[in-house]
Structure 1
Amino acid sequence: MNFNSPCSGAFGDPKEINYSAPLKQLIDEHPSLLAKMAEFNQMVETFEEDNTTDWTKAVNELHDKITTFITELEPHSNREEDVLFEMMVKYIGRDGGPIAVMEYEHSTAKLNLKQFMDKVSVIKEENKEVSKEEAFSLFHHLKIVYITLTDHFMKEENILFPMAEQMLSDEEKQELIIQFEKIK
Structure 2
Amino acid sequence: METITTLLSQQHHDCDKLFAQTEASVATTQWERATTDFDRFLAAMEQHFTREEQILFPQVENHMGHTGGPTAVMRMEHEQMRQIFTEMAACITHSDQEQYLGLAETLLILMQQHNAKEEQILYPMSDNLLSHQFPALLEQLHQPGNKV
For the aligned pair, the TM-score class normalised by the smaller chain equals 0.7 to 0.9
Structure 1 stretches lacking a partner, 5+ long: 1-17, 48-52, 124-129
| Alignment of structure 1 residues 3-22 onto 2, 5 Å | 20=3, 22=4
Q: Residue 25 of structure 1 corresponds to which residue in structure 2?
A: 7
CA shift for structure 1 position 169 = 4.6
Q: 1:155 to 1:103 in 2, by over 3 A?
A: same
Larger radius of gyration, structure 1 or 2?
1
TM (norm. structure 2) is 0.77
Runs of 4+, deviation exceeding 3 Å: 38-44, 57-62, 118-121
Establish whether residue 98 from structure 1 lines up as the match of residue 60 from structure 2: no
Structure 2 stretches lacking a partner, 5+ long: none
TM (norm. structure 1) is 0.64
Q: 1:31 to 1:138 in 2, by over 3 A?
A: closer
Q: Residue 138 of structure 2 corresponds to which residue in structure 1?
A: 177
CA shift for structure 1 position 153 = 1.4
CA shift for structure 1 position 62 = 3.2
Identity %: 23
State whether residues 5 and 127 of structure 2, in contact with CA within 8 Å, keep that contact through their aligned partners in structure 1. yes
CA shift for structure 1 position 159 = 0.4
| Alignment of structure 1 residues 1-184 onto 2, 5 Å | 20=3, 22-41=4-23, 47=27, 57-90=29-62, 91=64, 93-95=66-68, 97-121=69-93, 123=94, 130=95, 134-170=96-132, 172-184=133-145
Alignment partners' CA distance in 1, 2:100 and 2:20: 17
State whether residues 41 and 143 of structure 1, in contact with CA within 8 Å, keep that contact through their aligned partners in structure 2. no
Q: 1:151 to 1:39 in 2, by over 3 A?
A: farther
